[in-house]
Amino acid sequence: MTVLYTRLARAFGAEVPGLLGFLALVLVVFGIMAPNFLTAANFGSIAFQLPELGILTLAMLIPIISGGFNLAIIYTANMAGLTLAFVLNLYGGPEAGVLPFVFGSVLAIGVGAASGAVMGLVIAYIGAHPILVSLAMMIFLRGLGEFLTKGGDISGFPPYLAVLGHGSVLGVPVPLILFGVCAVVWHVLLTRTRHGFAARMIGSNIRATTYAGIHTKRTLTLIYTLSGVMCAVAGILMLARFNSVRVGHGEALLLVTVLACFLGGVDPFGGFGRVVPVVIALVVLQVLSSGLNLLGANQHLSTAVWGLFLIAVMVLRWGAGRYRQRKPGKG
Amino acid sequence: MRNFLRAYPTEAKLLAVLILICAVLALTSDSFATLGNLTSLLNNNAVNVIWAVGLLVVLIAGGIDISFAVAASVVQYLCVYAFAAIGGGNWGIGLLFAASIGAGLGLINAFLIHQFRIISIVVTISTFNAFFGLLMFFSSGRFLYNLPSWWSQRVILWEHQSPDGTWSEITLPVAVMAVAMASTWALIRHTTTGRQLYAFGDNAEGARRAGISIGLMQAIAFGWCGAMAGIGGLMQAHITKEVVPNALVGRELDVLAAVVLGGARLGGGRGSVLGCFLGVALVAVTQNGLNLLGVSPYAFKMVVGVIILLAISTSNIDLAQILAPKRKGRE
């Protein structure tokens, strides 16, 4: 048992065993309380609900690791979705072929990257606080989106998009595959590349990183650009899932993504954070929500439980930290 | 004048920009520089200023509060039920009750932050979710209209009929705003506690070693913010004559943007009441001006976003340096 614990902790981060324990606890409690909780149908629905929140959380993760924030993720995703929707409508809406979809997706990712890059440039070269810059970007993008759509929604997309939103390959939902790919890419980026290392260093101590010879300004710009790209992926997925685009779709997820990051053990001050615990934290949140749903509680109670759950986890971490500090002194 | 520029560089720039915008609007629109328009601007933005000065104290103390707008909604609901229970009430009881409930909710944040050493953004995002989820759960999203008459009736403190027959008036929220501003100014500028708040926000560890009680500082900052949130909520319900559980969600980020625009620093130790007022005023006047110039309301937010981005981007330009006479040689 201890061997397993240290192995897990060493391979994926110190948060993983604890979070897996929480997950097991939640599964057991709901498995006993809700009769149809441990069914394939329930896990299927969890697998379809998780990816949107998951990809948005990945978009939030890298800026937080670099000691920043990106409050504009939801509206960046919406704008990317809008771009794709405009292109599809230009090519005949429901009759649009696959080529316009590819073209539109590339444009959408370009829009996401561009909005991220602007934020990154302002943060890196002017030195403004990321919360403020991304907040301004969020207000701007929300305004731009409302201006372009007049607050309405755009729908009428080709039927093959349903595969992306609701299809399965070998029993695995397509959105989940997309999320899995994104998570693996992010994991590799953060743990195996120069850029990921530089991002973590910047989160720990940006000045030391500069003195170490890393072009921190370029790295910061790239961090927010990548975050924007991930938002665009989420935007495309949301378009396919809801079969419509409206500015403000997913608004409520903004703070939940931050919550998931903190739950996954990402340091709020930056510098430390890994993809695997965050993904597990996401699963815990989603399982909590669906379990409460099966027990007859509504989405709002889940929101409250998520908040209380994060507080509980932070308090437990505080307790664990004190326990660890005290132990060597006593022995 | 130069002292003002040196002590309040951001506020001075903001004031210059605000005067410029007002001058342009006065020249291009007939209805901007009228008593009626200016008083209605004051009436409509009083609540934002009340929240802004509350949030200011938290920002000065080096924290951040995401939960105050939701806390204001909670206060509104509790007020409706409490006043029904005591069979009416009046403004004195109402203000006292709203402020104490708000302060209580703020103290929950302060307790979690101080006792368990959790960073304020994590705590307030958790309490945001917890407060909002519980409020929506217990209220089932119902609107409340049965406010006591003293609460929902407009209180006009000053009115004036101009020669062309239009009325302009100052209502109760403006007076409350003035009191909130004056008391916050007195607290942060003219008490030992206020100086300690600045010191604590600038360097928490330094302040602790200088003998300042950290827990007390957190309690005062978040308690004050909560009390202002509660009073703001009471005023908001007074203006709209109804209580809607999700009406105030999202306002926290707008207020945050205005406060930081006004020179408060994320990270603590800097900010002023004047800056808060100017920050809210800049956003309000811009929206009002766009409206009077016949710009589509959908574009308002977009322009506000651009203005905030521009304001941040130019925030490193030092006016005092430019206006100061050139020094001859080195001193």
Rounded to an integer, what distance in angstroms lies between the CA atom of residue A130 and that of residue A143? 20
Whether the predicted pLDDT of B310 surpasses 90 = no
Indicate yes or no: CB of B312 within 8 angstroms of CB of A132: yes
Rounded to an integer, what distance in angstroms lies between the CA atom of residue A208 and that of residue A217? 13
Rounded to an integer, what distance in angstroms lies between the CA atom of residue B226 and that of residue A241? 39
Phi, then psi, of A218 in degrees rounded to 5: -65, -40
Partners of residue B121 in chain A, C-beta under 8 Å = 258, 268
- When pLDDT is averaged across residues A172-183 and rounded to a whole number, the result is 91
Indicate yes or no: CB of B312 within 8 angstroms of CB of A303: no
Whether the predicted pLDDT of B196 surpasses 60 = yes
Whether the predicted pLDDT of B317 surpasses 70 = no
Our count of domains for chain B comes to 1
* B300/A contact by beta carbon, under 8 A: yes
Closest by CA position to A254, among listed A141, A111, A106 = A141
Vertex B121, ends B120 and B125: CA angle to 5°?
Answer: 115
Task: Flag whether B157 is in a domain.
Answer: yes
Partners of residue B305 in chain A, C-beta under 8 Å = 136-144
Please count the other Cβ atoms lying within 10 Å of the Cβ belonging to residue A170. 5
Asked if A197 contacts A78 with a C-beta cutoff of 8 angstroms, the reply is no
B203: left (phi over 0), alpha (psi -120 to 50) or beta: beta
Pairing of strands B156-161, A153-155: unpaired
Closest by CA position to A261, among listed A44, A71, A26 = A71
- When pLDDT is averaged across residues A19-26 and rounded to a whole number, the result is 87
Task: Flag whether B326 is in a domain.
Answer: no
Ranking A22-26, A104-108, B205-209 by mean pLDDT, the lowest is A22-26
Partners of residue B136 in chain A, C-beta under 8 Å = 298, 300, 303
* Amino acid at position B162, single letter: S
Indicate yes or no: CB of A307 within 8 angstroms of CB of B253: no
Closest by CA position to A68, among listed B109, B267, B199 = B267
Whether the predicted pLDDT of B326 surpasses 60 = no
Whether the predicted pLDDT of A130 surpasses 70 = yes
Per-residue model confidence as pLDDT tens digits over A255-282:
889 889 988 888 888 888 889 999 999 9
Whether the predicted pLDDT of B319 surpasses 60 = no
Tell how far CA A250 is from the center of its chain.
12
Closest by CA position to B40, among listed B156, B164, B179, B182 = B156
Per-residue model confidence as pLDDT tens digits over A293-305:
888 777 888 888 8
Interface test with B, best of A256, A311, A316, A317 (most B CBs within 10 A): A311
Indicate yes or no: CB of B302 within 8 angstroms of CB of A140: yes
- Chain-wide mean pLDDT for chain A? 86
Per-residue model confidence as pLDDT tens digits over B79-97:
999 998 988 788 999 999 9
pLDDT at B331: 37
pLDDT at A331: 41
Round to the nearest angstrom and report the end-to-end CA distance of chain A.
23
Phi, then psi, of B32 in degrees rounded to 5: -70, -55
Within 8 A by CB and 6+ apart from B247, the residues are B73, B236, B240
Q: Is the dihedral of CA B19, B190, B270, B320 positive or negative?
A: positive
Per-residue model confidence as pLDDT tens digits over A182-200:
999 999 999 999 888 888 9
Please count the other Cβ atoms lying within 10 Å of the Cβ belonging to residue B56. 30
Asked if B302 contacts B96 with a C-beta cutoff of 8 angstroms, the reply is no
Whether the predicted pLDDT of B129 surpasses 70 = yes
Per DSSP, what are the bridge partners of residue B159? Answer: B169
Ranking A197-201, B222-226, B295-299 by mean pLDDT, the lowest is B295-299
Token couple for A153: 């929604």
pLDDT-derived band at A46, boundaries 50, 70, 90: confident
Phi, then psi, of B193 in degrees rounded to 5: -55, -40
Kindly list the domain boundaries of chain A, sorted by start residue: 2-330
Task: Flag whether B1 is in a domain.
Answer: no
For residue A1, the SS3 value is coil
Rounded to an integer, what distance in angstroms lies between the CA atom of residue A235 and that of residue A106? 12
pLDDT-derived band at B315, boundaries 50, 70, 90: low
Per-residue model confidence as pLDDT tens digits over B19-68:
998 999 999 888 888 888 889 899 999 999 999 999 999 999 999 999 99
Q: Which has the higher per-residue pLDDT, A298 or A63? A: A63
Task: Flag whether B217 is in a domain.
Answer: yes
Rounded to an integer, what distance in angstroms lies between the CA atom of residue A259 and that of residue A280? 13
Determine whether A185 is exposed, middle or buried from the number of CB atoms within 10 Å of its CB (0-12, 13-18, 19+): middle
Per-residue model confidence as pLDDT tens digits over A198-247:
889 988 888 898 898 888 899 999 999 999 999 999 999 999 888 888 88
- Residues spanned by the domain of B159: 7-321
Per-residue model confidence as pLDDT tens digits over B54-72:
999 999 999 999 999 999 9
Partners of residue B308 in chain A, C-beta under 8 Å = 132, 135-136, 139-140
Phi, then psi, of B170 in degrees rounded to 5: -110, 125
Q: Domain A2-330 belongs to what topology?
A: ABC transporter involved in vitamin B12 uptake, BtuC (1.10.3470)
pLDDT-derived band at A330, boundaries 50, 70, 90: very low
Please count the other Cβ atoms lying within 10 Å of the Cβ belonging to residue A321. 12
Q: How far are the Cα atoms of A67, A288, B303 from residue A78, in angstroms, in the given order?
A: 25, 27, 18
Determine whether A308 is exposed, middle or buried from the number of CB atoms within 10 Å of its CB (0-12, 13-18, 19+): middle
Rounded to an integer, what distance in angstroms lies between the CA atom of residue B6 and that of residue B322? 11
Rounded to an integer, what distance in angstroms lies between the CA atom of residue A50 and that of residue A38? 17
For residue A171, the SS3 value is coil
Indicate yes or no: CB of B133 within 8 angstroms of CB of A318: no
Per-residue model confidence as pLDDT tens digits over A136-156:
898 899 889 888 888 788 888
The DSSP string of B302-330 is HHHHHHHHHHHHTTT--HHHHHSPPP-S-
pLDDT-derived band at B330, boundaries 50, 70, 90: very low
* B180/A contact by beta carbon, under 8 A: no
Rounded to an integer, what distance in angstroms lies between the CA atom of residue A275 and that of residue A273? 7
Pairing of strands A244-246, A153-155: antiparallel
Asked if B133 contacts A252 with a C-beta cutoff of 8 angstroms, the reply is no
- Which of A131, A256, A307 lies nearest to residue B127, judging by beta carbons? A307
Asked if A199 contacts A272 with a C-beta cutoff of 8 angstroms, the reply is no
Percent of chain A with pLDDT over 70: 95
- When pLDDT is averaged across residues A101-128 and rounded to a whole number, the result is 91
The DSSP string of A255-317 is HHHHHHHHHTT--TTSS---HHHHHHHHHHHHHHHHHHHHTT--HHHHHHHHHHHHHHHHHHH
Rounded to an integer, what distance in angstroms lies between the CA atom of residue A146 and that of residue A131? 22
The DSSP string of A98-154 is HHHHHHHHHHHHHHHHHHHHHHHHIIIII---HHHHHHHHHHHHHHHHHHHHTT-EE
Structure letter (DSSP) for residue B118: -
Half-sphere exposure of B294 (CA within 13 A, CB side): 3
* B125/A contact by beta carbon, under 8 A: yes
Asked if A156 contacts A95 with a C-beta cutoff of 8 angstroms, the reply is no
pLDDT at B1: 59
Closest by CA position to A67, among listed B50, B266, B261 = B266
pLDDT at A205: 87
Please count the other Cβ atoms lying within 10 Å of the Cβ belonging to residue A92. 12
Pairing of strands B167-171, A172-173: unpaired
